[in-house]
Structure 1
Amino acid sequence: MEEFVSAIDIGTTKICVLTAQVTHDSLGKLSLRMLGEGVAPSRGIRRGVVVDVPEATAAIGEAIERCEQDAGRQILSAYVGIAGSHISTRNSRGVSPVDRRNGVTSADMQRALEGARAVALPENQEVIHTIARSWTVDGETEVQQPLGMSAYRLEVDAHIVTGSSTAINNLVQCVTAHGVDIDELVLEPLAANEAVLRPEERRMGVAVVDMGGGTSDLAVFIDNALCHTVILDMGGNHLTNDVAVGLRCPFETAEEIKLRYGSLLPRRIAPDETVWATVFGEKSERSFSRRFICDVLEARAIEMMEIIAEKLTEAGYIDRLPAGLVLTGGCSQLPGFAELGRQVLGMPVRIGAAHSGLPIAGLTRSLLNPSHATSVGLLLWGLHEDARAVHRRFGAEHAGASAHRWMGAAAKWLKALLPDRD
């Protein structure tokens, strides 16, 4: 039976839908083969949150339709990225007894994760992820994989990601309206990390920032474990808005100028270089100093880097990141971001994107771009689902498609109980 993985990345500026087929090599190793992609301008989304359900639903539908036409097959389910200022995180611990005769089982691990997620939450908040950071087996700490170990007591140090029930339900409604089930909602920086981080970076200590149009998502990884996440209320649109205000021009004009002439290293721009643009109240174009435009962009970008440094300092990780910072997302492509980041943060900074070494065949040139890191990462998240210690409870609490998702989960459970047939 053929297996497929699909991803829906719903951003402030664009919606990207990807679908791929799961393949197996002679050793049973899994990989993906790209089948199709679909991109549509985002509508009804502000700072990562649905603010107009009909508009967002229509925009998501356009991207899904384009992907299905490209792939030549219907998308039945997908991993969907989620972000926005409504996201919050915390750390928690859970415990499970273990039958020493059998050793630690996957059921023991799930019970410990269930205990960790039993935290008091505000009325309008619900858990999106419960992710194991590390395990303790009979007092032995920092165990990365306890499965099969002999023990009496298993403890987990878990990272809990929560979000607004209203925001989650609106997002679910927009996707399921097209007959697409949601395999899992995935916090976007977790997805992006799958595509852009190297194993040695996760082990040594690294922060990844997915810089979108409305928000930037920060995640910290140390010893191959997620340690901290935070959603920052800043993104590429803030840079564009500063240019629009500085030149007194429409936002669309400012966006075009930013993409075509923008740089975060204004001292490298000739003082007499000019840019022509149409401003409010005038029919003809006016000339502006390109260096002035780049000064405006640099000032905002420095502020963004300082906020990242502040958040890392507050969380106690600023001095625990030998691998530094990896910037990804569409905003990170502005020339000079990595160099400016190194100057402000005093640590290694690079721009991250999906690369040809990933277990995905057929990645197009456009997908090997920082702006598509999250969508490619969502595919990888789905491919690696069985290898992660993550407790999920996405299903019946979401109205509209709950019965369909419950039946799908039951079918998978029954299939797992049946012996394989040649």
Structure 2
Amino acid sequence: MAKNQILGLDVGSGSVKAVVAEPAENNKISLLYSIERPSRGLRKGVVVDMEDAASAVNAVLQEVKNFSKSAINNIYLNVGSANVHSQISRGIIAVSRASSEIHRDDVSRAIQASEAVHLPSNRMILHTITREFIVDGVGDIRDPLGMVGVRLEVVSVIIDAFEPAVKNLMKCVELGGGSISGLIFSPLASSMSILSKSQKELGVISIDIGYGTTGIAIYEENKLLHTTVFPVGAGHITNDLAVALKIPVEAAEKLKVSYGYALAKEVAHKESIDLKKIDANLKGAPSRKYVAEIIEARLSEICELINNELRLIGKAGRLPGGAVLAGGGAKLPGIQELFRDELKLSAQIGLPISGFFVASVPGVSDMLESPEYVSVLGLLSWGRELQPSRQGLASGNFLIKFLKSLLP
């Protein structure tokens, strides 16, 4: 079974996470091994120091190799930088057969036609995700195979990335001896592991708050409406605390994790934090409410960015499924209430979908109880679906086989 093992590799600005898995019974994924190490050489999801980034990735891959040599040859890698864009595109073709019956090659030609978008030479198509098919003017068709018509249209979401940034990330993995089987946009990976079909049908937004970036994916009627990444994350909260309190970044991170709260009005005025408990060399006792105000200010900025995107597509405050929060930043106490108030949506912490993953060894099960690992688990979900037809990355079309599962 080792030959079927896959590796989800989440290379972020704060940490590098890797999980080895293999298919299990009843369409589940068996989690076999996990590792997390500090990241270096990345800022806001982009490689800024090749040597440091490659070293950090290599350290993780070498430990994975000690567990499974086959898994590092079957890597599903996230792309999570803010220079990824999405746009709607249509492809229109004439059905090729005299009988006017639509076959698979017609569907493929229509999808390829939707990819004929004008992009600068330094950008590449990362995903082509089908929203709906239209046969002779009749739309909202999930699967046109076998239908009769003379004209076939497809409405697709084209997600394109800055090619040099993607290749730099891939190079870090290849320098560590890894072989990449697929690239997945981080917000899509996260939503894959935490959003149910009913949530996507109702209308929902997944929000993955990472260290250097925040990614969103918006769904309605089981269709992807919009996705993007903002260059602001939980690491910016840490930096804000370090500047405001004049303490080292490492101490600010500990302070955020141990005493942070996302909603300042819920914190008592008289509560203070003895900085000596964070670091023996520090002095002072700032108000916990002041710390919460700093955290809330940055999170409110993230909420405003999200609201701007929701307004662009006419969905501000209009998603019955609410907001599902994930990523390391989602572990801050009070964040659900803050996002509920700011976005005017119901909010919940997103955990991996129950029963979808199976923890096969002790320790791995902890990932299933934390919002921090939803992205890397989502990579495994995509990877499992793509396993039967591993295609090259050069064309950017290696996800075509998986498009059908994204249809409503």
Q: Tell me if both proteins adopt one fold, taking TM over 0.5 as the criterion.
A: yes
Which residue does 1:247 correspond to in 2? 245
- Cα deviations by residue, 1:231-261 (Å, 9 ceiling, x for unpaired): 1121101111111111011111111100000
Q: Which has the larger displacement, 54-63 or 70-79?
A: 70-79
Residue equivalent to 1:113: 111
SS at match of 2:147: coil
Equivalent residue, structure 1, for 2:49: 52
Task: Look up the equivalent residue of 1:382 and give its one-letter code.
Answer: G
Is the 2:5–2:71 contact (alpha carbons within 8 Å) kept by the matching residues of 1? no
Of residues 81, 94, 97 in structure 2, which corresponds to 1:97?
A: 94
Q: Which moved more, 1:303-312 or 1:85-94?
A: 303-312
Q: Select 1:186's aligned residue among 160, 169, 184.
A: 184
Q: TM-score, normalised by structure 1?
A: 0.86
CA, structure 1 residues 387+294, in 2 after alignment: closer, same or farther (shift >3 Å)? farther
Q: How does 1:112-261 map to 2 (within 5 A)?
A: 112-261=110-259
Deviation string 1:76-119 (CA, Å, 9 cap, x unpaired) is 12111001121111110012332264833332222111111111
SS at match of 2:274: strand
Q: Distance in 2 between matches of 1:149 and 1:181?
A: 40
Structure 1 residue aligned with 2:369 = 368
Please give the alpha-carbon distance, in whole angstroms, between the structure 1 residues aligned to 2:144 and 2:391.
19
2:288 aligned residue: 290
Distance (Å, rounded) in 2 between the aligned partners of 1:290 and 1:319: 31
Work out which of the residue numbers 60, 64, 80 in structure 2 matches 1:63: 60
Do the aligned residues in 2 keep the contact of 1:210 with 1:218 (CA within 8 Å)?
yes
Preserved CA contact (<8 Å) 1:49 1:84: yes
Amino acid at match of 1:384: E
AA matched with 1:328: A
CA distance in 2, matches of 1:182, 1:104: 34
CA contact (8 A) 1:130 1:392 kept: no
Asked if residue 312 in structure 1 is aligned to residue 310 in structure 2, the reply is yes
Which amino acid counterpart does residue 385 of structure 1 have in structure 2? L
The answer (yes or no) to whether the contact 1:35–1:70 under 8 Å persists in 2 is no
CA distance in 2, matches of 1:80, 1:209: 19
C-alpha separation between the residues in 2 aligned to 1:319 and 1:101?
A: 47
2:57 counterpart SS class: helix
**Separation in structure 2 between the aligned mates of residue 36 and residue 104 of structure 1, nearest angstrom:** 44
> Residues 17 and 100 of structure 1: is their aligned pair in 2 closer, same or farther, counting only changes over 3 Å?
farther
1:394 aligns with 2:403: no
Q: CA 1:284–1:132 in 2, change beyond 3 Å: closer, same or farther?
A: closer
Letter aligned with residue 395 of structure 1:
A
Give, in angstroms, the shift of residue 223 of structure 1: 1.4
Aligned residue type for 2:90: R
- CA gap 1:134/1:392 in 2 versus in 1, 3 angstroms: farther
1: CA distance between counterparts of 2:241 and 2:160?
A: 34
Between the aligned residues of both structures, percent identity stands at 32
Q: Would the aligned equivalents of 2:192 and 2:381 in 1 still touch at CA under 8 Å?
A: yes
1:377-399 deviation digits (Å, cap 9, x = unpaired)? 000011223899xx9862379xx
Shift of 1:70: 4.3
Counterpart in 2 of 1:378?
379
The change in CA–CA distance for 1:64 and 1:387 in structure 2 (over 3 A counts) is: closer
Asked whether the equivalents of residues 37 and 70 of structure 1 are also in contact (C-alpha less than 8 Å), the reply is no
Cross-structure match for 2:403:
none
Give, as a single letter, the amino acid of the residue that structure 2 aligns with 1:308. Answer: I
- Runs of 4+ in structure 1 off by over 4 angstroms are 70-74
Name which of 70, 79, 83 aligns with 1:82: 79
How far did residue 178 of structure 1 move? 2.4
Distance 2:333 2:365 in 1: 22
Contact 2:194 2:352 in 1 (8 A): yes
Is the CA contact (8 Å cut-off) linking 1:33 and 1:360 kept in structure 2? yes
Moved more, 147-156 or 52-61: 147-156
User: Does the 8 Å contact 1:202/1:221 carry over to 2?
Assistant: yes
How far 1:205 moved relative to its partner?
0.9
Q: Is the contact made by 2:7 and 2:71 (CA closer than 8 Å) also made in structure 1?
A: no
Q: 1:124 corresponds to which letter in structure 2?
A: N
Residue 43 of structure 1: aligned partner: 40
Separation in 1 of the partners of 2:197 and 2:39? 33
For structure 1, which segment, 293-302 or 327-336, has the greater mean C-alpha deviation from structure 2 after superposition?
A: 293-302
TM-score (norm 2): 0.89
Q: CA deviation at 1:272?
A: 2.4
Residues 105-164 of structure 1: per-residue CA shift (max 9 Å, x gap): 332222111111111112221111111111112221011122232332221100011111
Question: For the residues of structure 2 that align with 1:146 and 1:74, how far apart are their CA atoms?
Answer: 36
Alignment-mate amino acid for residue 232 of structure 2: M
| Amino acid corresponding to residue 216 of structure 1 in structure 2 | T
Letter of the structure 1 residue corresponding to residue 9 of structure 2: I
The residue type paired with residue 328 of structure 2 is G
List gaps (5 residues or longer) in structure 2: 400-408
Q: 1:304/1:74 Cα in 2 relative to 1: closer, same or farther (>3 Å)?
A: closer
Task: Give 2:22's aligned amino acid.
Answer: Q
Q: Does the residue aligned with 2:229 lie in a helix, a strand or coil? A: strand
Q: What's the counterpart of residue 16 of structure 1?
A: 17
Structure 2 CA distance for partners of 1:250 and 1:53, relative to 1, 3 Å: same
Alpha-carbon distance between aligned partners in 2 of 1:89 and 1:124, rounded to the nearest angstrom = 16
Match of 1:341 in 2: 339
Alignment map for 1:350-369 (pairs within 5 Å): 350-362=348-360, 363-369=364-370
After superposition, the C-alpha distances for 1:19-57 in whole angstroms (9 at most, x for unaligned) are 11123x4xxx53321121121110101000111111111
Secondary structure of the structure 2 residue equivalent to 1:61: helix
